[in-house]
Copies of this chain bind each other. A is one copy, B any other.
Amino acid sequence: MSDDLTALVTGLAQRAKDASRVLANASSAQKNAVLRRAADALRGAAGDRVIEANARDMMAAEQMGLSKAMLDRLQLDRSRLDAVADGLEQVVSLPDPVGALVEERVLENGLRVGKMRAPLGLIGIIYESRPNVTADAASLCLKSGNAVLLRGGKEAFHSNTAIAEVFTQALADEGLPAEAVTLLPTTDRQATLVMIGLDGIVDMVIPRGGEGLIRFVAEHAKVPVIQHYKGVCHVFVDRSADPDMALEIALNAKVQRPGVCNAMETLLVDAAVAPTFLPKLGAAMGARGVELHADDRAAAHLNGVKPASEADWDTEYLDLILNVGVVDGIDAALEHVAKHGSNHTEAIVTKDAAHADRWLREVDASLVLVNASTRFNDGFALGLGAEIGISTTKLHAYGPMGLAELCTLKWVGQGEGQVRQ
């Protein structure tokens, strides 16, 4: 690894870390003013510069032969930039997590103790093609009093640089250190390696993107990583389920937005209700263009399905494809989910309170649901106001991460001279 690159990345990270101490003590008003300035800038001349920079990225990407889907993710226009600016204003409207006191109590000796939310320090975000992540991540990190070190994708380099400049300018205009939002000036993989090795400087890294990127970061990081590999989400139709509710939930979970991680990939049905439920399911899914991969027992009640291969049960399709399996009751369903689930989102449809309770307790997933669509695993849908990602890591944060999850909880105690006996 080149010494120059190591020194460059380390130096930038250290300056961002130094800036984080100032951000940690910035007032809510100051932080909100930065976000408002950035929103205004994106709606004005700075936004034009972002769109010009994006045009350069798009031209290069087209020459490199990127897929249409990737080009769409990369593209910024006036309406998308307005949506980014709206997002910044939404973050302004959220309560400041820093300084909030939770779990307050008074000990027998009169010491008042509790936990206070405090920023983590410097958060690293490693992401791929979408340039709007630059603004989303910067706004959530700033609002939670953290500095952010961004490593964007090479396709979006000019767009990301222009967006990051909007934030550094807004910080400077508010008298805060511009280094609190630092975009690495290189997308070299070696620079990423240096960044994720900066134990003691970078407090947490969140990789956002494909499974390959996340595995690379998890494998090589020396700093804590919050991972989100994939969502292989299940809906289990219990024998006691209301069949109409089960059908509605299954359809929503599969077809409302199939390309996202909280969409359902596998439906499990209790054998007791398979003969009545599956024909309706097959017809409804067929009408919406969903291709079904079924096990033998399910296929007996479905028309025109493919056999599910062993690998299918572990596949995140992100598409209009659904595995369907028949299981012998809730124990078999829990077994299947424990084996094939991805700790993301798991739903049961049931009228049986004991089964609902077992599902909630026994399923190990970031969101466990009774009688609701898997599509609810999302920071906006769960009322966080915004999210920086959905963690399937059990430490620190499990599920959607909002402003509170970008903070730590430090213990605080207030006494009148108490000493230890």
Contacts and interface: CB of A to CB of B under 8 A. Distances in A.
Interface of A: 21, 24-25, 98-99, 105, 107, 111, 113, 116, 118, 120-121, 199, 203-204, 218-219, 222, 224, 242, 245, 248-249, 251-253, 256-257, 338, 356, 360-362, 364-373, 375-377, 381-383, 393-396, 398-400, 408-420
A394 B373 contact: no
Nearest to A416: B371
Contacts of A415: 369-372
Contacts of A383: 105, 107, 113
Nearest to A410: B398
A-B pairs with the 4 shortest C-beta distances?
A372-B415, A252-B419, A375-B420, A394-B408
Nearest to A361: B99
A285 to B, nearest CB: 15
A400 B103 CA distance: 14
A399 B408 CA distance: 11
Contacts of A356: 414
A366 B411 contact: yes
Q: Interface on chain A toward B: helix, strand, loop, or mixed SS?
A: mixed
Contacts of A375: 419-420
A133 B408 CA distance: 27
B410 A365 contact: yes
A204 B381 CA distance: 30
A116 B360 contact: yes
Contacts of A377: 411
A219 B203 CA distance: 15
Contacts of A393: 224
A419 B356 CA distance: 18
Contacts of A24: 362, 364
A361 B24 CA distance: 9
Contacts of A361: 25, 98-99, 116, 118
A414 B105 CA distance: 30
A371 B417 CA distance: 5
Given A105-B383, A249-B419, A398 B408 contact: yes
Given A113-B383, A398-B411, A420-B256, A199 B218 contact: yes
A249 B199 CA distance: 34
A413 B338 contact: no
A107 to B, nearest CB: 6
B418 A372 contact: yes
Contacts of A414: 356, 360, 369-372
A102 to B, nearest CB: 10
Contact of A413 (B107, B362, B376, B419): B376
Contact of A120 (B395, B400, B411): B395
A376 B111 contact: yes
Tell which of A224, A256, A356 has the most Cβ of chain B within 10 Å.
A224
A377 B413 CA distance: 10
Nearest to A225: B224
B413 A368 contact: yes
Given A256-B419, A368-B413, 12 more contacts: A24-B362, A24-B364, A111-B372, A218-B222, A219-B222, A224-B224, A248-B419, A368-B412, A369-B413, A370-B415, A372-B413, A382-B413
